[in-house]
Amino acid sequence: MLLQELVTVTDAVVATSSRLAKVAALADVLRRLDRAEIVPAVGFLLASPRQGRLGVGWRSVTNLDVPHAQNPSLTLNEVDAALDALAGTDGPGSVAARSAELERLARRATAGEWDLLARIMLGELRTGALEGVLLDAVAKASDRTPAAVRRAAMLSGDLGETALLALTGTADGLDAVGLRVGRPVMPMLASTAGSIADALDGLAAGGDRVAASIEYKLDGARIQVHRDGDEVHVYTRSLAEITHRVPEIVDAVRELPAERVILDGETLTLDEDGAPRPFQDTMARFGSETEAAAVLRPWFFDILHLDGDDLIDAPLSTRLDALARVAGEARMPGIITDDPAVAEEFSREALAAGHEGVMVKTLDAPYAAGRRGKGWLKVKPVLTYDLVVLAVEPGSGRRTGMLSNLHLGALDPTGEFGEPGGFVMVGKTFKGLTDATLRWQTEHFPTIETHRSAYALHVQPVTVVEIAIDGVQRSARYPGGVALRFARVKGYRPDKRPDEADTIQALRALLRG
């Protein structure tokens, strides 16, 4: 299949808000794939190539300026082979070799194909073809039940291989996929509640509140740990294996009173006083191939298998009982209550200890691997800051023709990071924008334009916007050394002047340690 066919289908998926239409368009493409194309194509549609890290960054992709092909000729297998070459390039001369391979790929691609490839390689496809939609498309294309496809995907931890099995195998083969120690499982995901009371009400059965598990929500990294005797494997949220990078977690799991176990949890690094270090420190530790001074400590909040018994379909209450027998001090702190006041007090303890908030979980639900449902609800304080728009990028897909992604700046009153009274960029966001807001800013920002670059319209720093964030992290990309986490627009503030915006110093104060 030509890459151009994926360009066409991703454009179609972006252009519609109908889930059924997205599923139908994707299913049509999936049916026409050759066997060898299925796994690569699924990775492309999710902007998650099967090769994993390719060794190319935003600058090397976006700064590439070469003539593109006039007519499409690239096949999916050729693209997959090129990504193999990029991912496999290492050692002396690898930067030049990778650049040459990237340039060859760019020259073979049409402009439209290169736009798609760039977004795939940078993980920024944003087609709406999220895993849930693609799972339904696989089910439709293969004439399997969505439940069977979803379960096989969550237990195998590999949507590409699940698609291959569904599209080329038998229904019995799909149903035979089971939990296996040593093979990572897609993690269960949480939805968000505005408050403890809202979360408990959301879990209520028949209008009556029921007891729920209230647990610390750490600002750490998700881990899934598999142990079979002395053999231990540690996986990230995205199911990448990091066992060799976290020997302290491996040692801790080997001390647990179990021979075969699958545990779900989080890990973070602690400072000298036992307080959690910033999320960025934990992620830096994950990315290090060498021994580091920062030690990761694991906390486990769920258990999926214990010494021959699969627990994934058991209610949380049963899983917590099993976890209590195994995890010991590595168990995530938590209580069981139906009283909002008791839960609120526990939440305050979590915040005082330096954590993000709490998780509220229903006790009767199984582990819904790979799904974001109502059984787990996260509750954490929302931080809002008034920032200034520095630039805005054109939208894509259904936002084509609109100005969408905002470049956000914080006030620098002292000139610590530039000119006194200037603004320091701290991040971007396109989230939280309603259609009405998109129309307004598309009309507004060209009236205060200062200049244009290849990717953005730069504007006078006079427009104040209220931004909700989950926190900040250290960043070498921005001059203030800080970047927003999970920023989304709450609304514009025409009542505020730019000199009333929040400062870079206020954002930096959120960094712990």
pLDDT tens digits, residue range 129-175?
567 789 999 999 999 999 899 889 888 888 899 999 999 999 999 98
pLDDT of res. 345: 94
pLDDT at 231 over 70: yes
Tell me if 274 sits within 8 A of 230, measured CB to CB: no
SS3 call for 267: strand
239: pLDDT confidence band, cut at 50, 70 and 90?
confident
Looking at residue 143, its pLDDT comes to 94
pLDDT computed for residue 129 by the predictor? 52
**370 has a pLDDT exceeding 90:** no
Position 513 confidence tier, pLDDT thresholds 50, 70, 90: very low
Which comes out higher in pLDDT, residue 423 or 269? 423
Find, among 306, 308, 329, the residue nearest to 258 by Cα.
306
- The single-letter code of the amino acid at 252 is A
Class of CATH domain 3-173: mainly alpha
Of the ranges 58-67, 191-200, 399-408, which is most confident?
399-408
pLDDT value, residue 215: 96
Q: Report the pLDDT averaged over residues 253-277.
A: 87
Q: Which of 430, 452, 440, 425 is nearest to 494 (CA)?
A: 440
Return the pLDDT at 64: 81
Q: Residue 74: pLDDT above 90?
A: yes
**Range with lowest mean pLDDT among 199-208, 384-393, 452-461:** 199-208
What's the whole-number mean pLDDT along residues 315-340?
Answer: 95
Residue 396's pLDDT is 86
Q: Which tops the pLDDT comparison, 57 or 304?
A: 304
Spatial CB neighbours of 115, under 8 Å, sequence gap ≥ 6: none
* 217 labelled catalytic: yes
Q: 107 pLDDT exceeds 70?
A: yes
* % of the chain surpassing 90 pLDDT: 53
CATH of domain 383-508: 2.40.50.140
Burial pattern 278-298, b for ≥16 Cβ within 10 A else e, equals: bbbbbbebbeeeeeeeeebbb
Other Cβ atoms closer than 10 A to 379: 25
In the predicted structure, residue 186 carries a pLDDT above the cut 60: yes
| Contact between 409 and 388 (Cβ < 8 Å) | yes
Is the model's pLDDT at 54 over the cut of 70? yes
Helix 3-15 to helix 19-31 angle, to the nearest 10 degrees?
170
Question: Tokens for 96?
Answer: 């030049």
Can you give the pLDDT at residue 220?
84
* pLDDT of the residue at 279: 66
Global pTM value: 0.65
Give the pLDDT confidence score for residue 408 in this predicted structure: 97
d(CA 474, CA 271): 16
- In the chain, residues under CATH classification 3.30.470.30 are 189-379
Rounded mean pLDDT of 16-35? 92
pLDDT score of 125 more than 80: no
- pLDDT above 70 covers a percentage of the chain that reads 93
Compute φ and ψ for 236, nearest 5 degrees.
-85, 180
Say which range, 109-118, 201-210, 348-357, has the weakest mean pLDDT.
Answer: 201-210
Give the ranges where 232-293 is alpha helix by DSSP (H). 247-254, 279-287
Catalytic residue among 22, 140, 217, 361: 217
pLDDT computed for residue 374 by the predictor? 78
Radius of gyration for the alpha carbons in the chain, expressed in angstroms and rounded: 24
**CATH 2.40.50.140 segments of the chain:** 383-508
Give the full edge-to-edge strand order of the sheet including 372-379.
Answer: 189-192, 372-379, 357-362, 212-217, 334-337
Structure token pair of residue 109: 């691609």
Highest mean pLDDT among 5-9, 192-196, 199-203: 5-9
Q: Provide the CATH topology of domain 189-379.
A: D-amino Acid Aminotransferase; Chain A, domain 1 (3.30.470)
User: Mean pLDDT over residues 439-467, rounded?
Assistant: 92
Task: State residue 198's pLDDT score.
Answer: 86
Q: Which residue has the higher pLDDT, 468 or 125?
A: 468
User: Mean pLDDT over all residues of the chain?
Assistant: 88
What pLDDT was estimated at residue 238?
Answer: 80
Instruction: Give 286-306 pLDDT, tens digit per residue.
Output: 666 655 556 889 999 999 999
Paired sense of beta strands 189-192 and 372-379, if any: parallel
3-state secondary structure of 461: coil
Residues in the chain: 513
Over range 48-71, report the average pLDDT: 82
- pLDDT at 512 > cutoff 80: no
Tell me which residue has tokens 């973070």. Answer: 268
Better-scored residue on pLDDT, 190 or 463: 463
Model confidence at 270: pLDDT above 80: no
